[in-house]
Structure 1
């Protein structure tokens, strides 16, 4: 049989089309299946807006999954097609909540996937929780995801499941990187008024104090921010030599350009949501050299995809060949999202019972390309923590930048490649 045509194929997704994507390209021959309804999977992620870099790998990963699975899965003893219904959150929490509701009420999906920072995962998860819809999310640190939703660690949530690195561990990795560079210990904070920023503002100051470090904090701010000149001026006045930010690429570009103009170059510069993306840094040329970042996944990670059979390094190599673009860590998590999904679908006893679907997903304890995902271990109910290393961008060869692993406290399977160096002076 052939999968009926939905509004958009992966090919038109690559061309920028909006709306739905079929589980396989319409018109391609599919295996003959019993007359069972397909599994409908909703996907909410930021295809446009300041968080769009979190969605750039989806077409490539969808093609990988199609090649390996033909978008079929055995559910309760019957082979079924998998249909994907993709919605753009436009990098807006309000829009993310809206599209989640559309997937639940209008599209008749059986499970929802969401990825791309707490601005996406949290509102989507909240709608699923309110409507009894099984949900699987990733690409948001565990603490902003769970605590940002006012979750009770003793109770948890009934319908939502999440895997990614722990913000506490990521913060620890970044602090270890800070400690590799000789500084005066004065840290400038760029923490906005959002789930990530408010969480870091709550948990980071006492941690810095315990390490004998001093905090220079201009306070929470709403984005987009037209100018960061006031923050730069405060950092200069306070003698800041380390900057810790949690801001997306457009905001970081504004901040860093103004910092360069004001001759403010800290010895260590970190910007979560930006510094993990080489494409967001290339515009700065050599000014991007020695920026530091957490590394939740990369070709250095010694894990294999249960869907494609490829190592992390082989996934990266194929992505480079297919796209001509440089990898970033979200490539691994996009693939892992499908790995966890298919592992969960194969455990379902009754597709028409949402509780059976949720039970199947929450029972996952499987190896993935980003490491083991085990929802029974937490640290919060129905969450799984994945390894997190730290690294620094250096001058590249095949691409303008290359990422060297410099810290592995929370990812001991990942080998250290270099020691963190201070930023180049102005």
Structure 2
């Protein structure tokens, strides 16, 4: 058998499956920025005489495009590892395609229970090739409960209305063992759960009426920005307004005031804070801090820094670490084994695959944040509760209506 191209050319290829077109293109922006910034630095960090090149393919924001991107990266570019930052349909498609092709895959920005159990693994039968780092649904519940309990007058039995859809977000939130709901209940909160709505929603009257009847002043959700806007508009039409809304989906993106002057749907919403400029994180590749990365992104792009930027940077950091620590960096099985024993400080914090919670998974700690009017931008993510992020300062107080 002849030598592989990697051995022959002394080049190791990192493949990046990234949305550059379609509805997830904005999620692709931070990954593309990290790629552009780190690719030249990775070239000189190859193990044992190898250089590293980074090659990307557009997933086109679809499952089919994701599978085709992986196929091109593996067959045409000879990628020895693939990384991705994607959405509900695209990320599993990338990971499943890598699993089928026998190439290591590293991904993020997807609750780990949905990634792991939702793709068919279990505690005794993990994946062979695909690895992931993210927070869990249980972490979201704990962070949101921290926020709920800061609402004046709320107690442990304060009813919380659940605005959940009939898709993966809502289904896994309701899961009786591995979802959001059992952790929230264990914190003493009473959940009001109407039948899930079909996404995209055309009306949310049933939820609004159920919340009114139960005396709900706090609402939690995993809705899209569009459906969240619909809920807020219809609630206002009925003369009601929750004192606090928490939402875990699409809230990574900074809201901005519309041309008509209307408030964006995310305004005042409590959400996850997994990476901001005040997080005490530093890159293992170039030593850049979170504050420096956020500033560089804004000066370079003219746009507000996004939370996924920290995850995107970490994807390439972990890929580099796996290549340099693999027993044989040209062998995909060896690289997968290196991912499984990785423990490294990154721009997304300490990522440790040796601790679990299940094989192939490393967790990202969460803090509680809220989108509030800012000084540098229309809205900024204020850290209200530090959660499990050690050394993270609170930068503001919770604001309720």
Shorter chain as denominator, the TM-score bin is: 0.7 to 0.9
Matches within 5 A, 1:399-414: 399-414=377-392
Mapped to 2, the partners of 1:60 and 1:162 lie a distance apart of 20
Match of 1:313 in 2: 291
1:310 Cα deviation from its structure 2 partner? 1.1
Structure 2 length normalisation: TM-score? 0.87
Q: Tell me the alpha carbon deviations over residues 219-251 of structure 1, each in whole angstroms, 9 at most, x when there is no partner.
A: 234423333344333333333211111123333
1:168 Cα deviation from its structure 2 partner? 1.1
- Decide whether aligned partners of structure 1 residues 224 and 263 sit closer, same or farther in structure 2, where only a CA change above 3 A counts: same
The two structures, once aligned, show a CA RMSD in angstroms of 2.6
- Structure 1 residue 200 corresponds to structure 2 residue 173: yes
Mapped to 2, the partners of 1:263 and 1:57 lie a distance apart of 39
- Decide whether aligned partners of structure 1 residues 240 and 379 sit closer, same or farther in structure 2, where only a CA change above 3 A counts: same
| 1:112 alignment partner, one of 73, 82, 85 | 82
Q: Between Structure 1 and Structure 2, how many residues are aligned?
A: 387
Q: Tell me the alpha carbon deviations over residues 27-59 of structure 1, each in whole angstroms, 9 at most, x when there is no partner.
A: xxxxxx996253233322444444443222133
Secondary structure (helix, strand or coil) at the match of 2:322 reads: helix
- Gaps of at least 5 residues in structure 2 are 1-5
Mapped to 1, the partners of 2:282 and 2:135 lie a distance apart of 18
Mapped to 2, the partners of 1:311 and 1:189 lie a distance apart of 37
| 2:46 alignment partner, one of 63, 74, 85 | 74
Match of 2:92 in 1: 122
1:311 Cα deviation from its structure 2 partner? 0.8
Match of 1:233 in 2: 209
| 2:9 alignment partner, one of 17, 23, 36 | 36
1:166 Cα deviation from its structure 2 partner? 2.4
Mapped to 1, the partners of 2:138 and 2:238 lie a distance apart of 32
- Decide whether aligned partners of structure 1 residues 338 and 223 sit closer, same or farther in structure 2, where only a CA change above 3 A counts: same
Matches within 5 A, 1:14-163: 36-69=9-42, 71-75=43-47, 77-90=48-61, 92-105=62-75, 107-163=77-133
Mapped to 2, the partners of 1:132 and 1:188 lie a distance apart of 43
Structure 1 length normalisation: TM-score? 0.83
1:400 Cα deviation from its structure 2 partner? 0.8
- Gaps of at least 5 residues in structure 1 are 1-32
- Structure 1 residue 218 corresponds to structure 2 residue 194: yes
Mapped to 2, the partners of 1:112 and 1:291 lie a distance apart of 34
